[in-house]
């Protein structure tokens, strides 16, 4: 598809003799379309050209040579060059792209690049609660979007299946196993044991010490501790899979912390040889103060057991060798910002190529909060994700029963709407913001929500069917070769076409910032633009040219809404 920004950048470059790639990066899309389709801020050139932005803008306008079939007009406003795209050319480009590409917006810009995404990572023997939702859906959407752009993407579920908490679980189970039946109700029973032993550890230092020693025994391969640990893990994974099935989550690797237990000695050996590893109160640490990090990283505890950080360093070494990654993303809460600063800085001591250490990135996000505040597994104040998803499905089913009781496949549609509502709510705001869970917002069919996007898609499908077509016919060429682009020059049609044109760029922006909310916001804007178009224009009219043009716009909108939603991990119902 023609790159309008590239055409503009190359035309400007000829007037000022500057690199067109750099100029390309300066070009903006104005918030108000009255100011053009693209804008170039001339103050970016003021220092280099030693002239005022107004003077630069006027000089460029006087010299620039543009093809009127591509850019029909350029204006100067307050030091900006405002460019107006040729309406016919925009419509022609969109129609041609849909005619020739069933996977609209898909690209190969990531070809040959490997992206490792570490996400979800629930803790074994603990509830899969709504706090894990964010990592699961943010990571899952990034996985799909990178893949759609041609990257070789590896999704890793780095399970929390090692650490002192297992020493606690082993101790609690040993003390109270006759009181619990963890086979019958695994997660709830194990959670009760964990909360109970954790409280006892607060009261009795001797119990806490036994728990620490249990983990050391586990690391050393003690048969009793290993057998219990495997039991906790197997039971937990069966429970977790039900949640993943609801969310449609998939992973390429389930290697958790325990996988790296035999890979940590190499890490410790490498760090020893750097001379940076030092002893502190019986523990082995690396001081990072000279790197601007005031808290040292603990590599080995005083009882010789390893830490979460040691396992993360072993994982970096393993992933660099196994996946040859260009980027390795860690999708966890902002509470772990310090941890990853320490780990990424220490990873520079492992002797890896800079390509790998430069590619490490913490994709942090805010917390999911209850109206009463933060959740805590230790205190037993959590909302299980499976319960929440099932409740969302039930609530969606009640809405459907009220609004469309005769609807077929109500259960399946309620599942798509309920799960989609939860996912979209999580991905609709900037990931770094805390999220307060509010049912009144999530399942609103009128607001900026998942159900609203799904409803708009269903509406496009219904309109196409009423016009006498179906999606398959259009994809196979019906009407696509017979669209009158002259019928798509009105403001509402142009607003949709501009959004459709920007779809691939939106996906690139998501990967540039690792921010799925950019796509969520885009889908809301597209749904709103279609509603405005539909309210202003009848689609099914007698004039065949007008009807076909508007059916095409309806089809293209629905197609992109569906692709975009699926990239977020949301399934579209056919009816609502």
Is pLDDT at 318 greater than 50 in this prediction? yes
Do residues 286 and 277 lie in contact, with contact meaning Cβ atoms separated by under 8 Å? yes
pLDDT of residue 171: 95
What is the spatial distance between Cα 556 and Cα 68, in angstroms, rounded to a whole number?
26
More confident: 369 or 423: 423
> For residue range 143-168, what is the model confidence (pLDDT) as tens digits?
999 999 999 999 999 999 988 889 99
Rounded to the nearest 10 degrees, the angle between the axes of helix 164-176 and helix 205-219 is 110
Is pLDDT at 249 greater than 70 in this prediction? yes
Range from 276-285, 300-309, 351-360, 502-511 carrying the lowest mean pLDDT: 300-309
> For residue range 29-53, what is the model confidence (pLDDT) as tens digits?
998 888 899 999 999 899 888 899 9
Q: Alpha carbon 551 to chain centroid distance?
A: 32
Q: Alpha carbon 77 to chain centroid distance?
A: 37
Superfamily for 385-568? Isoleucyl-tRNA Synthetase; Domain 1 (1.10.730.10)
Which residues, other chains included, contact 393 with Cβ-Cβ below 8 Å and sequence gap of 6+? Answer: 414, 415, 418, 419
Sign for the CA dihedral angle at 89, 92, 96, 97 comes to positive
The three-state secondary structure class of 333 is strand
Q: How many CA atoms lie within 13 A of 94 on its CB side?
A: 31
Rounded to the nearest 10 degrees, the angle between the axes of helix 410-427 and helix 385-403 is 120
pLDDT of residue 100: 85
Is pLDDT at 406 greater than 90 in this prediction? no
pLDDT of residue 412: 95
Do residues 26 and 34 lie in contact, with contact meaning Cβ atoms separated by under 8 Å? no
Do residues 252 and 147 lie in contact, with contact meaning Cβ atoms separated by under 8 Å? no
Nearest one of 12, 29, 33 to 21, comparing CA atoms: 12
Q: Which residues pair with 147 in a beta bridge?
A: none
What is the spatial distance between Cα 180 and Cα 186, in angstroms, rounded to a whole number?
9
Q: Alpha carbon 505 to chain centroid distance?
A: 16
> For residue range 444-457, what is the model confidence (pLDDT) as tens digits?
777 889 999 999 99
Q: Are strands 38-41 and 80-85 parallel, antiparallel or unpaired?
A: antiparallel
Phi, psi of 144 (to 5 degrees): -70, -40
The confidence band for 559, taking pLDDT boundaries of 50, 70 and 90, is very high
Mean pLDDT, to the nearest integer, of 159-182?
Answer: 92
DSSP for 479-523, please give it.
TGGG--GGGG-SHHHHHHHHHHHTHHHHHHHHHHHT-THHHHHHH
What is the spatial distance between Cα 60 and Cα 147, in angstroms, rounded to a whole number?
40
Strands (E) across 166-254 are located at none
pLDDT of residue 32: 86
pLDDT of residue 384: 81
Q: How many CA atoms lie within 13 A of 167 on its CB side?
A: 20
Which helix (H) or strand (E) segment holds residue 84: the answer is strand 80-85
Mean pLDDT, to the nearest integer, of 108-134?
Answer: 92
Do residues 95 and 483 lie in contact, with contact meaning Cβ atoms separated by under 8 Å? yes
Sign for the CA dihedral angle at 441, 447, 449, 451 comes to positive
- Which CA distances in Å does 360 have to 150, 296, 303, 355? 20, 20, 30, 9
Longest CA–CA separation in the chain, Å: 88
Do residues 46 and 52 lie in contact, with contact meaning Cβ atoms separated by under 8 Å? yes
Which helix (H) or strand (E) segment holds residue 436: the answer is strand 435-436
Phi, psi of 129 (to 5 degrees): -100, 180
pLDDT of residue 546: 94
Q: Alpha carbon 11 to chain centroid distance?
A: 36
pTM of the model: 0.92
Domain boundaries 4-85, corresponding CATH code? 3.30.1360.70
Torsion of CA 380, 381, 384, 387, to 10 degrees: 120
Composition of the chain by helix, strand, coil, percent to 5: 60, 10, 30
pLDDT of residue 517: 97
> For residue range 256-292, what is the model confidence (pLDDT) as tens digits?
999 998 999 999 999 999 999 999 999 999 999 999 9
Which helix (H) or strand (E) segment holds residue 528: the answer is helix 517-536
Which residues, other chains included, contact 430 with Cβ-Cβ below 8 Å and sequence gap of 6+? Answer: 515, 517
Is pLDDT at 407 greater than 60 in this prediction? yes
pLDDT of residue 377: 47
> For residue range 388-403, what is the model confidence (pLDDT) as tens digits?
899 899 999 998 998 8
Mean pLDDT, to the nearest integer, of 177-191?
Answer: 90
Phi, psi of 299 (to 5 degrees): -95, -35
pLDDT of residue 158: 96
Is pLDDT at 443 greater than 80 in this prediction? no
Given the candidates 3.90.950.20, 1.20.1250.20, 3.30.70.100, 3.40.50.620, the CATH classification of the domain at 114-166+220-369 is: 3.40.50.620
Mean pLDDT of the chain: 92
Q: Are strands 80-85 and 114-118 parallel, antiparallel or unpaired?
A: unpaired
The proportion of the chain whose per-residue pLDDT surpasses 70, expressed as a percent, equals 98
The confidence band for 370, taking pLDDT boundaries of 50, 70 and 90, is low
Spell out the domain ranges in the chain: 4-85, 114-166+220-369, 385-568
> For residue range 522-539, what is the model confidence (pLDDT) as tens digits?
999 999 999 999 999 999
More confident: 246 or 376: 246
Do residues 407 and 400 lie in contact, with contact meaning Cβ atoms separated by under 8 Å? yes
What is the spatial distance between Cα 222 and Cα 209, in angstroms, rounded to a whole number?
17
The confidence band for 475, taking pLDDT boundaries of 50, 70 and 90, is confident
Is pLDDT at 315 greater than 60 in this prediction? yes
- Which CA distances in Å does 226 have to 131, 216, 218, 229, 231? 28, 11, 6, 5, 9
Which residues, other chains included, contact 533 with Cβ-Cβ below 8 Å and sequence gap of 6+? Answer: 492, 493, 495, 496, 553
Q: Alpha carbon 479 to chain centroid distance?
A: 35
Do residues 380 and 191 lie in contact, with contact meaning Cβ atoms separated by under 8 Å? yes
What is the spatial distance between Cα 46 and Cα 70, in angstroms, rounded to a whole number?
27
């Amino acid at each position: 598809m023609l790159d309008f920004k590239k055409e503009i950048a190359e035309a400007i470059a000829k007037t000022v003799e500057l690199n067109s790639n750099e100029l390309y990066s300066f070009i903006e899309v104005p918030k108000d379309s009255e100011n053009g389709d693209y804008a170039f801020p001339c103050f970016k050139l003021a220092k280099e050209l030693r002239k005022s932005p107004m003077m630069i803008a006027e000089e460029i306008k006087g010299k620039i040579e543009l093809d009127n079939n591509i850019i029909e007009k350029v204006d100067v406003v307050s030091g900006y060059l405002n460019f107006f795209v040729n309406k016919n050319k925009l419509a022609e480009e969109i129609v041609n792209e849909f005619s020739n590409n069933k996977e609209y917006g898909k690209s190969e810009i990531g070809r040959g690049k490997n992206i490792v995404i570490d996400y979800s990572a629930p803790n074994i023997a603990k509830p899969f609660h709504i706090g894990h939702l964010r990592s699961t859906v943010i990571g899952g959407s990034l996985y799909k979007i990178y893949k759609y752009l041609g990257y070789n993407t590896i999704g890793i579920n780095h399970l929390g299946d090692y650490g002192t908490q297992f020493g606690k679980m082993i101790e609690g189970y040993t003390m109270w196993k006759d009181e619990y039946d963890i086979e019958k109700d695994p997660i709830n029973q194990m959670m009760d044991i964990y909360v109970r032993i954790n409280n006892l550890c607060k009261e009795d230092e001797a119990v806490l010490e036994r728990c620490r020693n249990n983990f050391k025994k586990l690391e050393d391969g003690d048969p009793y501790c290993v057998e219990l640990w495997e039991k906790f893990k197997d039971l937990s994974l069966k429970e977790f899979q039900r949640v993943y099935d609801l969310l449609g989550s998939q992973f390429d690797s389930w290697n958790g912390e325990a996988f790296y237990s035999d890979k940590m000695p190499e890490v410790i050996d490498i760090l020893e040889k750097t001379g940076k590893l030092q002893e502190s109160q019986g523990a082995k640490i690396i001081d990072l103060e000279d790197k601007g990090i005031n808290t040292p990283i603990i590599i080995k505890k005083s009882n010789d057991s390893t830490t979460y950080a040691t396992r993360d360093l072993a994982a970096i070494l393993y992933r660099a060798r196994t996946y040859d990654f260009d980027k390795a993303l860690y999708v966890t809460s902002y509470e772990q910002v310090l941890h990853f600063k320490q780990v990424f800085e220490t990873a520079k001591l492992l002797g890896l190529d800079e390509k790998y250490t430069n590619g490490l990135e913490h994709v942090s996000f805010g917390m999911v909060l209850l109206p009463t505040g933060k959740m805590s597994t230790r205190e037993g104040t959590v909302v299980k994700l499976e319960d929440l998803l099932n409740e969302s499905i039930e609530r969606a089913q009640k809405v459907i029963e009220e609004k469309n009781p005769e609807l077929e496949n109500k259960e399946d549609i309620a599942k798509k709407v309920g799960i989609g509502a939860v996912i979209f709510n999580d991905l609709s705001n900037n990931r770094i913001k805390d999220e307060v869970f509010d049912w009144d917002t999530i399942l609103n069919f009128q607001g900026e929500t998942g159900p609203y996007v799904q409803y708009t898609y269903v509406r496009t499908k219904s309109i196409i069917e009423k016009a006498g077509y179906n999606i398959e016919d259009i994809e196979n060429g019906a009407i696509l070769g017979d669209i009158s682009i002259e019928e798509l020059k009105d403001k509402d049609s142009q607003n949709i076409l501009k959004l459709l044109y920007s779809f691939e760029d939106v996906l690139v922006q998501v990967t540039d910032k690792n921010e799925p909310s950019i796509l969520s916001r885009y889908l809301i804007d597209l749904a709103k633009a279609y509603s405005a178009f539909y309210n202003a224009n009848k689609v099914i009219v007698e004039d065949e040219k007008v009807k076909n043009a508007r059916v095409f716009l309806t089809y293209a909108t629905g197609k992109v809404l569906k692709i975009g939603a699926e990239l977020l991990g949301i399934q579209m119902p056919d009816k609502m």
